[in-house]
A and B are shown apart, each in its own frame.
Chain A
Amino acid sequence: MQGRLDNMPSQRTGAQIIWECLVHEGVNTVFGYPGGAILPAYDAMLDYPVRHVLVRHEQGATHMADGYARAGGGVGVAIATSGPGATNLVTGIATAMMDSVPMVCITGQVPSKLIGYDAFQETDITGITLPITKHSYLVTRIEDIMPAMKEAFLLAKSGRPGPVLVDITKDAQQSKMDWAWDPRPVTMRGYRPKLAVSKGDLAKAVDLIKNAKKPVILAGQGILQSGAMAEVRKFAEQINAPVALTLLGIGSFPASHPLNIGMMGMHGEAWVNHAIQEADLLLAFGMRFDDRVTGNLKTYAVNAKKIHIDIDPSEMNKNVKADAAIVADLRDALKDLMDAVAPKDHAPWIKYIESMKGDAAVRDIQTLPDNGHLYAAHVINDIWRLTDGKAIVCTDVGQHQMWEAQYYHHEEPRTLITSGGLGTMGFGLPAAIGAKLAKPDAEVWAIVGDGGFQMTAAELSTAAQENVKVNVAVINNGYLGMVRQWQEFFYERRYAATPLRSPDFVKLAEAHGLVGLRAEKRPEVADVVARARAAEGTVLIDFRVEQEDSVYPMVPAGNDLDAMIRRPKESVLVETAADQI
């Protein structure tokens, strides 16, 4: 039966209601994997205008839905069956939870009368995901499907976004009822995400801004989620304050803007961390003072007053005590603030920060002469240059991720998609597939390490089957690089379980019917990047980079933010015999 979207009640199965709801919520792409308990929903799917992407592992479905949501700004949808299908979603759900990504996961559940009887492929997935979902539903009756679906979408995308799981029993999918879409907006009495700006703290913030001489704006992902890019830019210009970004905040403020001083935190630029430590006012916009951003909290920006604007009240005073805590949608709060503060000039402060860059430039790997070796930073910087900085880049987690953040300069929002909070290896490739489907006209790159890539490499097959064009840059250093770096710095170079032997990635790509390329020297980079961009389908490039390079600067975990390990001035680029692995 063809799905109908009018409001006349007519007989529907629960399975049909699921798709009706999805279509009404504006969903046209879902990522999933079928199985027994979700079969009725899959059968009904064929009658609805929704593209289903068959993944190779359900974790891939959640990362694709995640990349789809982050690139496109909508809600990502992942579907799986009960039992192992559902448990395979867990890592992707936790990733989305930590990074506040709007996602709805639909799982089949065994028939309601079998719940609790250890039925085949039964698992208590709402129980398992309780701490890693914004909310969840176990639906056992057909009449509860639409309310649960409507609430799930509202919860996923409103307030501080997050993943919501809807677990639907097979009998609820199979039963029938007279049904019509209820177009009224959902109200939930315990859920009030729209909070008005508190005038008291607003006045306090205005005062703090007026009196500040050395302000720094800390730009987080909340800016993207609030859609406040223009407001932040206007506000920063109005009060003439430098802007430092969190990893997930990259793209919220143009890299080329003169007030953008760069990324903060564990692998932030030295001058950025110094500026934060010396600031007398921090304006935290949609960020949560993660430990990777603050280092030792006891010594973090001790001279600075803090203005914290976030939509989640539970973030206030969690890690850092706020002198003015404004719980609000950032855009609304900034509009109010902009009306209330006069333009300011902080030229001496900005000049001082600029003056700190000189030393860093000397140490920058970009300025070192080509010694015949290929460095990850070179590869990423070249990709940035060759793509005009306009690609959407999805990364895995580790050294390449930090180099991406340092050497690919993002101008536009939602162009760096990376697992920040959970630090999920294997995220990059599936997220890139999702991002490409959300933004079919965009150039999408997955920049991944040889370790993380192999965690979800099976999704190459998905890219091939679905004919999705992404370019996969494997930064191949033969190690689990970031862990190796920690071992080098903190464990006397005892490389426990970090040397990594990989298959021939070029042949792997070819086995999937995809193009595989390789580059081992810097002059080869431009050519393989050009060939990848020109090719029709997904292309994998195996970049054989320096094995024992490290990401600098580095604030060792828990250290003071300005106590950084710097790249030594003399080149320490280590030559490593290939036979070590």
Chain B
Amino acid sequence: MLHTLVALVEDKPGVLNRVALVFRRRAFNIESLTVGRTDVAGVSRMTIALDSDQVNVDRVMAYLYKLVNVLEVEDLRDVPAVARDLALVKVAVGGHDRGQILRVVDETRAHIVDSGEQTMTLEITGEPPHVDAVIARLEPLGIVEMVRTGQVAMRRGDTALSTAQYS
């Protein structure tokens, strides 16, 4: 079962290490982990995508809460949420029609962000399954290089995991 955990953490040295340790100790495989700043100085936000059953996710959340530098933890599986993933994919253009790539771009809301003699680089943004689907279509054309950010996510609607109390 895919869970998306969001953690508000203090922006201090070693925090990423401490969080990673919670997953490593029980050998949980993280699908993706992103870290970035929030609107409040000193507070960072992690989005952790994790394929695991509910019992283990409950354990992980309890252990994350135990970390002194972790302020809040939430499982977005429980609430309506919007998630985005971004991929940059460099596709080979030699040996086949550039038009094939352009057709994928057209049909999938991908963007061309760079173009060389031998390759084109596309940016794909969307829900993670959308990004998966576009990459699947590009694979037969020859992917030379690829990078994904991993997903970021937040609740839909007016409720929020607010940082206000930490400013």
Chain A residues packing against B (C-beta within 8 Å): 126-127, 130-131, 134-136, 138, 155, 188-191, 312-314, 316-318
Contact = CB atoms under 8 A, between A and B. Distances in A.
Interface stretch (B61-69, B78-86, B108-116): B61-69
Contacts of A314: 59, 62-63, 65-66
A313 B62 contact: yes
B17 A189 contact: no
Contact of A190 (B17, B21, B59, B70): B70
A136 B21 CA distance: 14
B18 A312 contact: no
A313 B59 CA distance: 10
A130 B66 contact: no
Contact of A130 (B18, B59, B63): B18
B14 A190 contact: no
A127 B17 contact: yes
Nearest to A318: B59
B158 to A, nearest CB: 25
A190 B63 contact: no
Contacts of A316: 62
B58 to A, nearest CB: 7
7 contacts: A130-B14, A130-B17, A130-B21, A135-B68, A189-B71, A190-B67, A190-B70
Of A134, A135, A138, A190, most buried by chain B (CB within 10 Å of CB) is A190
A126 B68 contact: no
Given A126-B14, A138-B13, A190-B10, A131 B21 contact: yes
Contacts of B62: 313-314, 316, 318
Given A131-B21, A190-B68, A314-B62, 20 more contacts: A126-B14, A127-B17, A130-B14, A130-B18, A130-B21, A131-B25, A134-B68, A135-B68, A136-B14, A138-B13, A155-B68, A189-B10, A190-B67, A190-B70, A191-B68, A314-B65, A314-B66, A317-B58, A318-B59, A318-B62
Contacts of A126: 14
Nearest to B13: A138
Interface string B41-59: 0000000000000000011
Nearest to B63: A314
Nearest to B42: A189
Contacts of A190: 9-10, 67-71
Nearest to B165: A189
B18 A313 contact: no
A189 B10 CA distance: 9
Contact of B66 (A127, A136, A188, A312): A312
A191 B71 CA distance: 8
Interface in B1-36: 9-10, 13-14, 17-18, 21, 25
A190 B67 CA distance: 8
Nearest to B20: A130
Nearest to A134: B68
A317 B56 CA distance: 11
Contacts of B14: 126, 130, 136, 138
A270 to B, nearest CB: 33
Nearest to A164: B68
A317 B58 CA distance: 9
A131 B26 CA distance: 12
A164 to B, nearest CB: 9
Q: Which 4 pairs across A and B sit closest by C-beta, in order of nearness?
A: A314-B62, A135-B68, A190-B71, A191-B68
A136 B18 CA distance: 10
A189 B66 contact: no
A111 B14 CA distance: 19
Contacts of B17: 127, 130
Interface string B71-96: 10000000000000000000000000
A314 B18 CA distance: 16
B52 to A, nearest CB: 16
A316 B58 CA distance: 10
A131 to B, nearest CB: 6
Nearest to A313: B62
Contacts of B25: 131
A138 B10 CA distance: 16
A318 B10 CA distance: 26
Contacts of B69: 190
A221 B9 CA distance: 31
Contacts of B59: 314, 318
